[in-house]
Structure formats: C-alpha cells, structure tokens
Structure 1
Amino acid sequence: MLSTRHGVRVLGPTDLAAFLDLTGRDPVVNVFADYRARTTNLEPRWLGGEVWGRFRDGELVAACHLGANLVMVEATDEDARVFAERALTRRRSVSTIYGLQAPVRAFWDVVATGWGRPREARWCQPHLEIAGEPAVAPDPRVRRTTRDDLDVLFPACVAMHTEEVGVPPDQGGGADLYRTRVSQLISLGWSFARFEDDRVVFKAEVAYASPHAAQVQGVWVPPDLRGQGLAAAGMAAVVEQVRRDIAPVVSLYVNGYNTPARAAYARVGFRETATFATIMF
C-alpha cells in the first residue's frame, strides 16, 4: 500500500520492469541495484530485505534498496529524506550505506541521531569508469582464478578486506560465510589474480554485473610489492577480460585519500564520473 504522505511502497516482482527502467537512467552508477533486481526478481525472500519505491503521478521516480547494504537509486535529496523518514520507523539493520554522495548525505542528516554513531564515514570516493581499451599493457599473467586457487587466494582476500574496511571478515564466526562468497565469485568467473610461487601478487573481483556494466572491488597488491606497477598492469588485464566476457563498461569507486590507487586507475584509463560516499557500522 502506498504511503498517503510520501507515495512510498515496497516493490515486488510486478515492479521489475519499472525498476530496471529506473536503474537504466544511469546503468553504470546503478549497477548494484540492477544486479540485485535481476538476480532476485525483487522477491523479498531472495533480497534478504526490501526495495522501496517512491512514486509520483503513478511513475516510479526513485528507489531504496534496504538489505545488508542500503543503496538509493536515482534519488534526489528530497527522495533521500523521504526514505530516511521511513527508515527511522524501524530498527537499523543495514551494515553499510553507500552510493552517490549527495543523497547519502541527505539520508544521513535525517537518520544520524536515531541510527547511532557509525564506525566510519567516507564522504569522498571518486566513482570511476572505463568503456574502452586500457591505456597500459595488460599483465598477461593475470587470469581468472579456479577452485584450486582458493586456499592461496582466501588469505589475500582477508588481508585486503581487513586493510580496506578495518575489520577482519572472518572474525566472529564469519570465516565460512566469507569463504563461501570468495568461492562464489570464483565460480562466476568474477575473480582475477596473478600468482607467483604460491603467493597472490595482484587480485581483484567483479562484485556486481549487469548487461550494461561491471563493478570491480577488492583490488589488492601485497604491501611489500606496491609501487612496482602491478596494480596498473593487473587492472588493465581485468578491464580487458571483463569487457570481453562480462560487461562493456568497468566501474569502481575508490577512497579519495588513496592517491596511489587513484594514480594507477588513471594510468589504466579510468575517468571520474561521480562522487560516492560510504557509511559503515
């Protein structure tokens, strides 16, 4: 049922076409929501949460994915505030809020006092895209990983996640769940790495993909090997393989303060198209 005040309701399978039209307004920025819709059909039991839609004159104009991740789609600041007011009627269940900086900030301004202090807020995360050939030579030793690689790859994934997020993904009994996620990405053909002497020297994964775009995450080089060009050449190889086999545009977002990573992506040919923000609990 529509909220009589704000025109907001929970979306379901009958809304899928309208929702995909909405994500299609910027299919690269909205790749997470597009992927989630296509893989769950907007069925709450598969979403593990809900997707809210805001309607104006019968047309879906904005949406909010509310699961482990809270991500808004084509939301203005006003839409974000409306979603936030609705979110305040329930206990916080999300672990991360992320997306375009402006609506994330507008949402947070409303829920901040009710949802508690976040563990960290990253307000400047350039969103990058590449839709052509990489500008540097791809590393020919970067390849798709296989299940045989899992025992070597998993510690590198844990190290990357701990360094990036600040919390080990395998703590508190989470090791099996995280290992399952790494295995899933391998099975999908979304995990890429270069190995030397049973050691990962570069790795990256596709986190989400649609017919329009793929979003890369987990880019990592061991600390003692950084500054040698492994990241740029490795990402060039990932871009080449992803554009060939998965989606025509490759995207990612990076912390604004991570100057070496931003320089590596620029060398590959990524261009900045937006600014994201992430709030972590």
Structure 2
Amino acid sequence: MKKFHFKVSLLIASLWLSLISGVLAAGNAPDEPLVMTSGDGRFELYSDTNLDPKEAHAFLLTVQNAWNWLLETQQWVNPTLLDGQPVQLRLLDDDNAPSGGSGRGFTIALKRLYTLPDLTKGTVAHELNHVQDRRQTGNGVVPGFITEGRGLTNGFWYRYSLGLPPQPYDHALARSIANFTPEQMSDVVHRMQRGDVHDANDPKANARLEFGGAWFVEYLRTTFNGHGFPDVQPRLASVISEVHNGIPFEDAFKKVFGVEFSRVQDAFIAFVTNTEGTHRVKSMIWEGLIGKENRN
C-alpha cells in the first residue's frame, strides 16, 4: 500500500510540474503575441492561442487578486521591486513548456484553467511569490528548498483564504511527508544552493526538495522550539530582503529569527527522526489529510 501511495504521489507531483512550467528567463520577451495588459500596467498576458477578451480579463483578475493577497500577507520590505518591469504571464496550449529562469514571469498550461481551476489559483500565488522573491533577492542566494517551501505553502494558504477545499495534490504531498526518511530530509535542508536539483540520476529529487521545503517552512511556523513562528512568511520575506542587501542567508536568518539556522536544521531532522504518520503534520496545513483522500 505504501508503494502504491508513493507512486500516486509522484504521479500528482508530475501533474503539478506540468501545471507550472516555471519562470521566464530574465530579459527574454515571449514569442507569443501580447493579448492584454492589466489596467495598472503591472501584468502582461501573452498566449499562443486566440483567447476571448473576457477569458483574458478573467485570468488577469485572478492574477491581480493573488498579488493583492501576497502584498498583504508577505509584507515585503520593498514591494515596489515588482513594478520595475511588467510581469509576463504566458497561457500556452502546451503541457510541456520548459522550466527554469528568474523573476521575469511565469507560464501556465491553458487547459489547466479548466481542468484544475482551484489548484491553478494556488499556482498563480505560488509563482507570483517566486517572481517577487527573486526580485527581492537580487544577486543574493536563498536556498531552493526555502523558496519552494514558501511558494507551495503560500499557494495552499491562498486557496484556503478563498474557501477552496484541499486538492488531491495536497493529499499526495501529505502522504509523501509521512514517508520521507531523515536521510532524505537532511539532504534537502542542508542543500544551500539556490534553485532546483538538476540530477539526471535522481528525477525524484526535485519533488523531495519542494515537498520537504514546504514541510520545513510549516515546521518552522508551527513546531520549532515548542511554539514555532506564526508569522514565518513575512519573516522569511524579510530574510530575503536582507540577502538582497548582501548579507549571507544564514546571517540574515539569525538577524530576523533570532536563532542560528543550523539549530533549526538540527531540530527539524530530530523531529523527522522521532515522528511518523499523522504526527508529522500535527497543527500543519496537511493535518487530517494523511489517509483521507479527496475524490472530488
């Protein structure tokens, strides 16, 4: 049964990766024609298909609503960085768009707007979080598992704020957490490079980095030192702003959280080692999702 659940989790993880094609390379203009620009000029929508104007406007409204929520909840030190260049949004009739890039914009497969509308709202918040974080970071380095952990959990919280139910993806993530080993999570939280894992010999590594990063962020919010940091997301946004100012990530983390990052890493691995099953997500956003699948 565990092996079956793991395969299903990977399947849904693959679906998520196909839903998000990632962010666009800095400075590259999309090949697709410009369909519409938001009224404030902040967002540009490109597409390789003939979008109905009402459809285009509805998507831009979805993006703007997600951005407004992020502005309110993340409390970035310098939110005007987003206004430096319009964010390029690409709606493509292609499920295999390439991933990677920087803070210029992001791509979503068009048909996912119709087949996974609730999850897509979280995807938009997730990717806008990445765009702004990358602009805040500048040339500084924030570990990939932190940025992915922020994106995934903020995507969930945004969906939750809209009153949307947990998705099959959320159940898959919770099951993965239940099955992670301390060794796997130690590899994740001690990988201090920016970005994803690029290892042709381990195609599951990115799923572990993203899911493990989300678990780490939720652990930091709810559990570390007995009480966690309920305001973990705006604190992490502050860390990212400090990194932009040239401070190494570990120093920025200590400045904002008042604790050595290595201490949190050690405590998290001890937590992973000493818990199993539903206890691993107690008080976290996935509490109640392990062993309870949403069939809707």
TM-score by length of 2: 0.27
**More helix per residue:** 2
TM-score by length of 1: 0.28
